[in-house]
Chain A
Amino acid sequence: MSQAPQKEYEQLRVSGLHAFYGESHILHGIDLVVNRGELVTLLGRNGAGRSTTLKAIMNMVGRRTGSIMINGEETMSCPPHHIARLGVGYCPEHRGIFSELNVQENLTLPPVVRSGGMALEEIYNMFPNLYERRLSMGTKLSGGEQQMLAMARILRTGANMLLLDEITEGLAPVIVEKLAEVLIKLKEKGLTIILVEQNFHFAAPLADRHYVMEHGLIAEEISAGELEAKQAMLNNYLGV
């Protein structure tokens, strides 16, 4: 994370991505680009294909066609563990905390994939609750603590592109605020972040750009500057 953000460096390029779960066709040709150091959101209603897009990037869905380039490397034939090793940190919906592992084991489970990750001490400074509860089993934590753990877990690995799926879901406002602070810090460090988010008020002030998804397609791309002008259209897409 020592590199200064180079906005023009293309960290992720997805083109013509289709994804299928068994017989159902979920993604219908996604195209998106994320540059290094950017924070980009995927907005849309439930079932629009946002979580599936993240999973497809991780090669965690059934069948995919199209192209996914990470750091300029084609990854369609890479197994998930290779994709993680390219510096991708994935935080799944519902957090994916392992109940059979205690907090510290959960935290140190993902192997370090790049240098420059946060040290355990640094992480415990950022999330003091996790230190206090490091010997509790993972799922004994409160929802907010579990979310902190899920985030902290991928920060340790040195991943420089984070895929975060609904990290504020079901959390109290004070925790959401804390998560926003964390994201701002990570952005300052130059990490690339792709955020699937339901809570638009959380995402809007943080993001550089927004992709709006509908029916498994990118319906609209909105930069942070255009947000005000396009608010009405966005509300229409999100059904608010």
Chain B
Amino acid sequence: MSMILGVPLAVLSGQLLLGVINGAFYALLSLGLAVIFGLLKIINFAHGAMYMLGAMATVILFDTLGVNYWVALFVAPVLVGCLGMAIEYFLLRRIGGQDHIYSLLLTFGVALMIQGILTNIYGVSGLRYSMPDVFKGGMNLGFMFLPYYRAWVIVMALLVCFGTWFMIEKTKLGAYLRAGTEDSQLLQGFGINVPLLVSLTYGFGVMLAAFAGVLAAPIYSVTPGMGSHILIVVFAVVVIGGMGSIAGAIITGILMGVVEGLTKTFYPQASSAVIFLVMVVVLLIRPSGLFGKEA
């Protein structure tokens, strides 16, 4: 068996794969955060809860209504997106224009409430969700074993990330979003219904989180607390990438997953700290983030 720096290739590539998968989730989540932050200037602390809701909805829809994975992949994000728009319309809009700390506290409170209610009903130990049969098994690539579902997660996450990037950078709707990010008042003065754009953007951002949740359901344990665990890491990723950069959020997400995976291979003790270490270094050298604009 070939070795790289004293580590068997299969172990290294296995950890790299895990890293890319984690990175795919980081990318989807930080992308949603970046989209929301850009237009609403809100740090969405409810983002982890929306990810969790996506995963929980997938399991609950299956258990109660027999809704299968493929339908859930579409329905769960839409349901969570609608909930997000309701949160924006009934709550966030009322504190628009106030200090950012209010929206941060509000979204944090909403997250705690959602998490608390679900813990009350389903407990903390989590729900079981079995993978669709088509994804059972995997293929041997020679140097490693690639489970089909993991490959699917990576492909889907990349497709959705690319689609979102394309929508924002290359379409008319995306031009509205970019213009609104810079000066939403002027955009509205040109005749664009900015309040509606804000609702849709928040809904879309949390939809991305819920989509990540559906992808996570078959491979991670689905618990009401799953969102709060990942959210802290995702915030670090967003800080590293720079708030508000779309491509930056995607690239940094995947990169940090890989960095985490590599650390797990060579120095496992540091694996849960490495992202925060990178964050500290980035903050010291380039406070606006790798892809952020210099302030």
A109-B189 in contact given A98-B182, A100-B182 (Cβ < 8 Å): no
Given A84-B189, A84-B190, A105-B175, 20 further pairs, Cβ under 8 A: A60-B189, A79-B188, A80-B185, A80-B189, A81-B188, A84-B191, A90-B186, A92-B189, A96-B183, A99-B182, A101-B179, A108-B172, A108-B175, A109-B175, A109-B176, A109-B179, A109-B187, A110-B192, A111-B191, A157-B190
A111-B178 in contact given A80-B185, A96-B183 (Cβ < 8 Å): no
- The CA of A119 and the CA of B178, in the complex, are separated in Å by 24
Q: Are the C-beta atoms of B183 and A81 separated by less than 8 Å?
A: no
Best-surrounded residue of B185, B186, B193 (most CB of chain A within 10 A): B186
Which residues, 154 to 213 on B, are CB-close (under 8 Å) to A?
A: 172, 175-176, 178-179, 181-183, 185-195
- The CA of A125 and the CA of B70, in the complex, are separated in Å by 52
Chain A interface residue bracket vs B: 20 to 34
- The CA of A90 and the CA of B191, in the complex, are separated in Å by 10
B195 contact from A79, A105, A108, Cβ within 8 A: A79
- Residues of A at under 8 Å CB distance from B? 58, 60, 79-81, 83-85, 90, 92, 96, 98-101, 105, 108-111, 113, 154, 157
Q: Are the C-beta atoms of B182 and A109 separated by less than 8 Å?
A: no
Q: In the complex, how many angstroms separate the beta carbon of A178 from the nearest chain B beta carbon?
A: 24
- The CA of A113 and the CA of B189, in the complex, are separated in Å by 12
A81 contact from B172, B178, B182, B191, Cβ within 8 A: B191
Q: Are the C-beta atoms of A98 and B190 separated by less than 8 Å?
A: no
Q: Are the C-beta atoms of B186 and A92 separated by less than 8 Å?
A: yes
User: 26 A-B pairs, CB-CB below 8 angstroms?
Assistant: A58-B189, A60-B185, A79-B195, A80-B185, A80-B188, A81-B189, A81-B190, A81-B191, A81-B192, A81-B193, A84-B188, A84-B190, A90-B186, A90-B189, A96-B183, A96-B186, A98-B178, A98-B183, A99-B182, A100-B182, A101-B178, A109-B176, A110-B191, A110-B192, A111-B192, A154-B190
Provide the residues of chain B in CB contact with A99, threshold 8 Å. 182
Which residues, 42 to 95 on B, are CB-close (under 8 Å) to A?
A: none
The 3 closest A-B pairs by CB, nearest first: A84-B191, A110-B190, A100-B178
> For the complex, would chain A's binding face be called helix, strand, loop or mixed by DSSP majority?
loop
Chain B interface residue bracket vs A: 10 to 19
Q: Are the C-beta atoms of B191 and A101 separated by less than 8 Å?
A: no
Provide the residues of chain A in CB contact with B195, threshold 8 Å. 79
**Closest chain A residue to B195 by CB distance?**
A79
- The CA of A65 and the CA of B183, in the complex, are separated in Å by 25
Q: In the complex, how many angstroms separate the beta carbon of A37 from the nearest chain B beta carbon?
A: 22
**Closest chain A residue to B197 by CB distance?**
A81
Q: In the complex, how many angstroms separate the beta carbon of B249 from the nearest chain A beta carbon?
A: 15
- The CA of A170 and the CA of B182, in the complex, are separated in Å by 23
Q: In the complex, how many angstroms separate the beta carbon of A219 from the nearest chain B beta carbon?
A: 27
**Closest chain A residue to B169 by CB distance?**
A100
Which residues, 207 to 259 on B, are CB-close (under 8 Å) to A?
A: none
Best-surrounded residue of A80, A85, A99 (most CB of chain B within 10 A): A80
Provide the residues of chain A in CB contact with B185, threshold 8 Å. 60, 80
- The CA of A105 and the CA of B192, in the complex, are separated in Å by 15
Q: Are the C-beta atoms of B188 and A109 separated by less than 8 Å?
A: no
Q: In the complex, how many angstroms separate the beta carbon of B230 from the nearest chain A beta carbon?
A: 29
Provide the residues of chain A in CB contact with B183, threshold 8 Å. 96, 98
Q: In the complex, how many angstroms separate the beta carbon of B194 from the nearest chain A beta carbon?
A: 7
Q: Are the C-beta atoms of A157 and B191 separated by less than 8 Å?
A: yes
Q: In the complex, how many angstroms separate the beta carbon of A35 from the nearest chain B beta carbon?
A: 23
Provide the residues of chain B in CB contact with A81, threshold 8 Å. 188-194
Provide the residues of chain B in CB contact with A85, threshold 8 Å. 191
Q: Are the C-beta atoms of A98 and B179 separated by less than 8 Å?
A: yes
**Closest chain B residue to A92 by CB distance?**
B186
Q: Are the C-beta atoms of B181 and A109 separated by less than 8 Å?
A: no
Provide the residues of chain B in CB contact with A79, threshold 8 Å. 188, 195
- The CA of A195 and the CA of B183, in the complex, are separated in Å by 22
